[in-house]
Amino acid sequence: MSLDVRRRSASERREALKEVLAEARACTRCAELAATRKTVVFGAGNADAELMFVGEAPGASEDEQGLPFVGRAGGLLNTLLAEIGLERSQVFIANTLMCRPPGNRDPQPIEIDNCHEYLLRKVELIQPAVICTLGNFSTKLLRGDPTGITRLHGSPEVLVLGARAVRLYPIYHPAAALYTPRMLETLREDFHRLPELLALGAPEQPSFAEVPEPAPEPAAQPQAHAAGGERGLEAGQLGLF
């Protein structure tokens, strides 16, 4: 991903995101996952969201529907979002892995590594101000550090991911909180601090003054985006609102 992504308009970034989606749908970097998945769960929500969530990996329901967090943990995530006055259509939800690990086993380091580039491209194109990592896997991945969620939850920090500086905010994974009332209480408290974090806006971005202006793009072809498949991308997995 080139640094000039920051100079692109929202609609250009959205088109680029659809290209990443198309690429991801054909991905076979993890042979086992590619052979066993039903769908590639790219992520869903607002392609220009201020707030992005990163979970662990799709489960059975997500694999079935091709959408993240549609099972019980997703129900809790929806409830928590509603409590702070947000809907899924206002945020973007992704995962560390886009494919379901068979039998819901843990993601393997090589799989996380294979999928990392896709996640960074999503971050660079969506340009969120806040990334809320749900649980250990995404927190350790994006911080590049093995410190666990029990120590880090509820503590925001500024991080540069690819070309984007974000406020990273680790919280417990909703699936872990489903059956543990005390963890749910902590998750809820942390979640309710999201509005104040969002109110700070994006952190100062790293300076890339040396990046030249991109060459002007050729004029759009009127028929180029009218194909059914293209509309299918918009109406389906990306759910661009």
What is the binding site for ligand URA (CB under 6 A)? 55-59, 62, 68-69, 71, 73, 95, 175
* DSSP bridge partners of 51: 130
Q: Which residues contact 180 (CB under 8 A, 6 or more apart)?
A: none
CB of 217 to ligand URA, least distance (A): 34
Nearer to ligand URA, 81 or 175 (CB): 175
Nearer to ligand URA, 100 or 167 (CB): 100
Q: How far is CA 90 from CA 77, 86, 224, in A?
A: 13, 7, 28
CB of 92 to ligand URA, least distance (A): 13
| 193 C-beta neighbours (distance < 10 Å), count | 14
CB of 76 to ligand URA, least distance (A): 10
Q: How far is CA 121 from CA 24, 74, 207, in A?
A: 11, 24, 19
CA distance 11 to 16: 9
CB of 163 to ligand URA, least distance (A): 26
Nearer to ligand URA, 75 or 206 (CB): 75
Nearer to ligand URA, 70 or 125 (CB): 70
Residue nearest to ligand URA (CB): 55
